[in-house]
Structure 1
Amino acid sequence: MALIARIEIHMVPLVPRTKRTDAIQSFVCQETVILRVHDVDGAVGTGYAYTIGTGGSSIMRLLADHLAPRLIGRDADEIERLWTDLKFHTHATTVGAITALALAAIDTALWDLRARRAGLPLWKLAGGAKDRAPLYTTEGGWLHLDPQALIDDALEAKRLGFGGAKVKIGKPRAREDVSRLEKLRAALGDDFEILTDCNQVFTVDEAIRRAHMLEPLGLGWIEEPLPADDLDGHIRLNRATSIPVAVGESIYSLRHFREYMQKGACSIIQVDVARIGGITPWLKVAHVAEAFNMPVCPHFLMELHVSLTCAVPNGRWVEYIPQLDEITTSRLKIENGMAVAPSAPGLGIDWDWDAINALSIETMDILMGAA
């Protein structure tokens, strides 16, 4: 029995090295919430979650005031029980992003602790379907970049063996998006996937119109074309276009994913381990997607998602966006364009605690026996 003796929480703001813009926003700061679970035997598991600039302090308070104290003295091996208890404790704020992100920080730490105590890498502990997965890059596909910059980045990714590149779309005029992608396809040829991301900017009619204009380009998917809560709109779009519709980064519940799959509103699942509430619900979504014969291509968090993508048989892609370089000493291992699952026990992320302590703008400790 691994009784929890201490919870340690850090808030670390990270500014992306690359300018990141899409159709609705700029990604200027990643608020990284890092949580460590210490058991009475001295073993430690580390988890994390993130925002893109808003809400980090709320996650910290939810963890410190309401969730972490409920873990003290509990058995860290009872991950499913703990996740369910914490979810019901916060029933008034679920389903929602802040609560899901707080749960994810705890849940990923508990899985890391379990894997470390078992001496297994996460991808094996969670399923062990394969030891590597194809990579696509997003880091050179931002909306502000000119077509030649998109081409140069995608050609370099292709040279390195990556299987695809994602490009943000949502220019004011549809023809601008089409022109950029036509130039990209002409430069890359037909043996490289071009993926597109709309970041929820379109109305239903505009999404259908643009999808029809883009169909001749053989795109791998059109991602988040509509607001994530517009289930009916996604059903209409999915029926209207041959381009696969991808959703998931802004869906926070297993049952919402089930509705999308069951009602034919998508064909690619992009579940985000932080936004769904952790590894425990992530695996459930992935297995439901397998039942619907749909691939899982998770959003962001490549350092963690490589292990989860490799854990399940329907994990298809890992998204390349480096985000933890400032606070880790490990790097995603890439061989011939494939992301290789870490072999070390746990999540496979080597945290740089000197850097984390130096960059933390807030730190909290919850201890066994504290008043």
Structure 2
Amino acid sequence: MKITGIEAIPYAIPYTKPLRFASGEVHTAEHVLVRVHTDEGLVGVADAPPRPFTYGETQASVTGVIEKVFAPQLLGAEVFARERVHALLYRTVGNPAAKSALDMALWDIAGQACGRSVTQLLGGSTDRMRVSHMLGFDTPQCVTAEAERIRDTHGITVFKVKVGRRPVRLDLDVCRALRETLGDDAELYVDGNRGWTASEAAFALRELDDLGLTLAEELCPADDVLGRRRLVRDCRVPFVADESATTPAEVTRSLLDGDATAISIKTARTGFTRSQRVLFQCEGLGTEVVMGNQIDGQLGTVCTVAFGAAHAATSRRAGELSNFLDMSDDLLTEPLTITGGTLAVRDRPGLGVAIDEDKLARYRQDH
């Protein structure tokens, strides 16, 4: 089965409220829908969410590199010749969201061709994951109100709290308010997006020690080599590398150099193929993983839960699978539903999704 066509369709859907964090803020999902066509009539889909403030990609750069560089190389390639496809893609430096979307669309085709879900092809460990919800910058009153609404509506009891502001007390007050409001049954962990210095992060962790946090993610820049190592060494919970470890090689260096003790896996930046390589490295080194979120819409969330549920290690912790709830609309014909704090895998061939063509026509940006 050969690739006969590749589409990169830019679209934009507003969020109902902006998500704010130390490295930027997002008001609109300016993503790229990627569709790969084959000579047997099967079509694979995936979403590319550019994050210019983190990875340097933009909507325009994703569509441009797919249309001008990747598509000409991949036309005529065999769908199942995954290593050959990756050799072509990775001759080009960077562009993680574009490469990952192409990889996941090909896995979608493979699942359809085999009559099996992507989760089954990848490992089939379970059929669902617990959900973690990400809370952005706001006042303690607003953040706790959102957490209560998410808990009461969707049954979610795991929350990732964005921190990294100055003064540090702004975020400490939010964390304390969440613990007081949600009680001891809720799981809380923090993500600084490199916003604090190592000394600020160390102070914050000492101040929050009694809250029972379960993870600390990217509290300070990895470029602060010695400060970061001291922080990680003294951290009493797993210290997660996310945007500082975006490739298998960076993951290895981060863990061996003492820059982190856990890894965030994001299918939006490493697809399914490279995400497995990252996961297997972590398993070999005895390192915990968490399924992260690139502020995904529903299609991106489908990909995250498909991969996370496929493996025991990635399904052990709650995955960040709920930020599509903040979007004003979406492209899938059948919306996702979080029930009892969990999200189920689509039990259908491939990713098991279909695109609403009317909505795509409404939101696409390339008319």
C-alpha distance in 2, partners of 1:17/1:211?
32
Is residue 2:146 matched to residue 1:147? no
1:318–1:339 CA contact under 8 A, matched in 2: no
1:338 equivalent to 2:342? Answer yes
1:167 aligns with 2:166: no
- Partner residue in 2 for 1:217: 211
Bigger Cα displacement from structure 2, 324-333 vs 212-221: 324-333
1:86 corresponding residue in structure 2? 89
Using the TM superposition, give the Cα deviation of residue 191 of structure 1 relative to its aligned residue in structure 2, in angstroms: 1.7
Q: Which one of the candidate residues 188, 194, 197 is aligned to 2:191?
A: 197
Partner SS state of residue 17, structure 1: strand
What displacement does 1:228 show?
4.7
Deviation at 1:242, TM superposition (A): 0.9
TM-score normalised to structure 1 length: 0.88
Q: 1:114 & 1:284 partners in 2: Cα distance? A: 19
Equivalent of 2:249, from 251, 255, 260? 255
Question: Matched residues, percent identical?
Answer: 28
Could you say if the C-alpha distance between residues 18 and 222 of structure 1 is closer, same or farther in structure 2, counting changes exceeding 3 Å?
A: same
Return the match for 2:77 from 47, 68, 74. 74
Corresponding residue to 1:362 among 339, 360, 366 = 366
| 8 Å Cα contact 2:244/2:250 also seen in 1 | no
8 A contact 2:103–2:273 mirrored in 1: yes
What is the rounded CA distance, in whole Å, between the counterparts of 1:303 and 1:201 in structure 2?
29
Q: What's the CA shift for 1:170?
A: 2.3
CA gap 1:68/1:209 in 2 versus in 1, 3 angstroms: same
Matches within 5 A, 1:218-367: 218-230=212-224, 232-276=226-270, 278-300=271-293, 301=296, 302-315=301-314, 316-319=317-320, 320-322=322-324, 325-362=329-366
Distance 2:100 2:183 in 1: 40
> Are the aligned partners of 1:15 and 1:29 in contact in 2 as well (CA < 8 Å)?
yes
CA contact (8 A) 1:202 1:226 kept: yes
Determine the structure 1 residue equivalent to 2:9. 10
Match of 2:179 among 176, 181, 185: 185
Residue 129 of structure 1 deviates from its aligned partner by 1.1
How far apart are residue 101 of structure 1 and its match? 1.6
Contact 2:16 2:328 (8 Å CA) reproduced: no
Structure 1 regions of 5+ residues with no counterpart? 364-371
Matched-pair contact (CA < 8 Å) for 1:294–1:314: no
List structure 1 segments (4+ residues) > 3 angstroms apart after TM superposition. 156-160, 228-234
Q: For the residues of structure 1 that align with 2:225 and 2:251, how far apart are their CA atoms?
A: 10
